[in-house]
Amino acid sequence: MTSRLIGSSALGCLAVVIALLFAAPTGPTGMLLRAQGPDIGTEAQRESGKTLYLKYCVQCHGEKGDGNGYATPHLLPRPRDFTTGKFKVRTTPSGALPTHQDLVNIIRRGMPYTSMPAWPNLSDQEVSDLAYFTKTFSPDFSIPENIPQPIPLPSAPAATNESIELGKKLYEENGCLKCHGTLGRGDGPSAPTLVDDLGHPIRAADLAQGWTFRGGSSREDVFKTMSTGLNGTPMPSFLEALQPEQRWAISDFIVSLSGSNGPGYTNLVVAKHVLDPIDLAKGAANFGSAPVARFPIIGQITEPGRAFHPPTTAVTVQAIYDAESIALLVRWHNMSAEKAGKNDPTLPVPPEEEEESATSGASKGGVFGDQEVAQPPAAADPFAEAAAPIAPPSEFSDAVSIQIPMQAPTGARKPYFIFGDAQNAVDLWFFDLARPDPLQFTGRGSADIAPNDTGDLSGVASYDQGEWSVIFKRPLRATSGAPFVPGEFLPLAFSVWDGFSRERGNRRGLTAWYSIYVEPEVAPSAAGPMVRTALLILVIELAVIGLVRRSRRSAAEVLRAKADGEGRQQAATRA
């Protein structure tokens, strides 16, 4: 009995030991093996992903996953062609596939300033299923040799002024500025020639607007982007070329270019009074410390001749006024200055131009016209010393306009935000940047724009390091257009035309109505009212305390008198 017991327990022990022996080597290696197999999910996961894909993604990415959905002709950048296996935002080396988590992250967060939306409302499982389904479009994902291995992302040293300085130097030495420009505004000499691997035109990111980065704008994100490169685009990987500290330094420099985490869009520009008369010859220097307002630019997609992806994302505006005139300084980033050609708010745009050609951009009808994308895809060597081919002069010049109501609105009704309407006209200040001076128009809707040369308007424009700076100047009260009155608000709106993208007429970027406030010369000071209020309250307080104390004292006297009287009485009775 006992021996049997011992025997069985010995057997049990043996079994455990054997099990452990097997478990020890197989456990970890088993797990490794599984991690090494392509992570393409289960049949059920892919099926669930497919259902979601057909509801949410197919309209852009297409039934075959080739980026040819309904929306595609209106989109730039184009929806990703999943069959290529090329993904921009990854943690893996240049050319490699993304990890499963990379796909999950990018679907969850979306890609800012493109039509690729964020999907915050899908569950974690749904996003993961979608990622599995996306992988089915490219056979690369099921090849074991292709299993993506994330590159090391070392922890960051602290950002210092020195690291920013060093980053600037490295940025210049490593050819970043050839594409991104000296100040990072996307205006490098090669920028106009860039195309992606499929031959579609692509712009070098505007590094001074970090919030537009597809892969995130934090130091860590920029470090990662620089290390991995963006597959399928001319943006190379610098994993081999630069040491981690060097990449950190460049990241610090790039983050410093934006100056802030977000665009800080506002709905108001405040015009400051200046004592010195406004002198156009002094240019931007006139505007000294006038506050800077940033307004978002969106595509004009309301009137025929639509622009679905204007390259301009924002304008910054400052305003000042002197005894007679008001001046507005409008600035925006622009890849290349088109100072030749023509532009006009009335230029017609054929309806076909709303659609980009569905085939490769190298064929006729690409956004930039056929000649300009002649550069063969993928041949863009960032380090090639040969000067970038010079793009032929554009047919259209860059242009900008400010619009204000013809009459200051008395109630809620403003003119229609796109160049006014039949009842409410707008006064349009238009600057074709191929010309020396701005022009004035009266707008009664996009189809009814007439020149209105009052001679009131003057202006200057300059282009420097990827930025246009345009100043408009007009008398506070002019022959045409609402007056600017200190202490009052006036609606205003902007349009920007990029000649390089063949923007003219209705094809342009614009803003909705925003406001300008003409700040009175002497702002009412708070000191007077503050002192008056404080004194008034002080007097009341003292009065109350005084009263209470007096009545208290008299009450006490009465008491004392009473007590005295009683004392006397008592004394009397005793006596």
* 31 vs 21: CA distance, rounded Å: 16
524 is a site residue for another protein (CB under 8 A): yes
| Strands 514-518 vs 489-497: parallel, antiparallel or unpaired | antiparallel
Non-local (6+) Cβ contacts of 255 within 8 A are 159, 210, 217, 218, 219, 222
**What type of residue is 406?**
M
* 199 vs 305: CA distance, rounded Å: 25
Q: How far is the CB of 321 from ligand HEC (least distance, A)?
A: 33
Cis peptide leading into residue 77 (ω within 30°): yes
210: tokens are 């970090």
Its sign, for the CA torsion 104, 107, 108, 110, is positive
118 is a site residue for another protein (CB under 8 A): yes
Binds another protein by CB under 8 A, chosen from 533, 554, 569, 570: 533
Interface region with another protein, contact rule CB under 8 A, candidates 161-169, 223-231, 294-302, 369-377: 294-302
222 is a site residue for ligand HEC (CB under 6 A): yes
CB 196 within 8 A of CB 229: no
Q: How far is the CB of 301 from another protein (least distance, A)?
A: 6
75 is a site residue for ligand HEC (CB under 6 A): yes
H-helix segments, 358-435: 369-372
Counting residues that bind another protein (by CB under 8 A) gives 61
Q: How far is the CB of 572 from another protein (least distance, A)?
A: 33
Binding string to another protein for residues 219 to 238, with x set by CB under 8 A, is what?
--------------------
292 is a site residue for another protein (CB under 8 A): no
Per CB under 6 A, contacts with ligand HEC among 370-409 are: 380, 382
H-helix segments, 309-437: 369-372
Interface region with another protein, contact rule CB under 8 A, candidates 95-103, 158-166, 400-408, 548-556: 548-556
118 binds, among ligand HEC, another protein, none (CB under 5 to 8 A by kind): another protein
89 is a site residue for ligand HEC (CB under 6 A): yes
* 338 vs 341: CA distance, rounded Å: 7
- Of 404, 407, 418, 416, give the one whose Cα is nearest residue 446: 418
Burial of 219 (0-12, 13-18, 19+ CB in 10 A): middle
19 binds, among another protein, ligand HEC, none (CB under 5 to 8 A by kind): none
H-helix segments, 348-502: 369-372
Q: Which of 195/399 has CB closer to ligand HEC?
A: 195
Binds another protein by CB under 8 A, chosen from 38, 83, 108, 113: 113
Binds another protein by CB under 8 A, chosen from 489, 565, 567, 568: 489
Binds another protein by CB under 8 A, chosen from 103, 179, 293, 297: 297
* 463 vs 219: CA distance, rounded Å: 30
Q: How far is the CB of 365 from ligand HEC (least distance, A)?
A: 19
* 201 vs 187: CA distance, rounded Å: 14
Per CB under 6 A, contacts with ligand HEC among 230-289 are: 230, 233-236, 238, 250, 254
User: Per DSSP, which regions of 356-443 are E strands?
Assistant: 399-405, 426-432, 439-443
Interface region with ligand HEC, contact rule CB under 6 A, candidates 138-146, 207-215, 265-273, 347-355: 207-215
535 is a site residue for another protein (CB under 8 A): yes
Dihedral pair phi/psi, residue 349, rounded to 5°: -125, 115
DSSP string, 140-187: GGG-GGG---PPP-PPPPPP-HHHHHHHHHHHHHTTHHHHH-TTSSS-
Strand partners, 439: 430
Binding string to another protein for residues 22 to 61, with x set by CB under 8 A, is what?
---------------------------------xx--xx-
Q: How far is CA 188 from the centre of its chain?
A: 20
Binds another protein by CB under 8 A, chosen from 47, 66, 74, 454: 74
CB 291 within 8 A of CB 329: no
Binds another protein by CB under 8 A, chosen from 71, 156, 159, 292: 71
Interface region with another protein, contact rule CB under 8 A, candidates 32-40, 278-286, 340-348, 535-543: 535-543
Interface region with another protein, contact rule CB under 8 A, candidates 88-96, 361-369, 500-508, 526-534: 526-534
| Strands 268-273 vs 514-518: parallel, antiparallel or unpaired | parallel
- Of 262, 358, 499, 413, give the one whose Cα is nearest residue 70: 358
Q: How far is the CB of 335 from another protein (least distance, A)?
A: 20
Distances (CA, A) of 484 to 327, 349, 357, 478, 518: 11, 34, 46, 9, 7
* 361 vs 367: CA distance, rounded Å: 8
134 is a site residue for ligand HEC (CB under 6 A): yes
Q: Which of 411/455 has CB closer to another protein?
A: 411
315 is a site residue for ligand HEC (CB under 6 A): no
Binding string to another protein for residues 392 to 431, with x set by CB under 8 A, is what?
-------------------xxxx-xx---x----------
107 binds, among another protein, ligand HEC, none (CB under 5 to 8 A by kind): ligand HEC
**What SS3 state is found at 524?**
coil
Binds another protein by CB under 8 A, chosen from 150, 283, 304, 483: 304
Q: Which of 450/545 has CB closer to another protein?
A: 545
Interface residue list for ligand HEC (CB under 6 A): 56-57, 59-61, 71, 75, 77-80, 87-89, 103, 106-107, 111, 114-117, 119, 130, 134, 174-176, 178-180, 190, 194, 202, 204-205, 207, 213-215, 222, 225-226, 230, 233-236, 238, 250, 254, 301-302, 380, 382
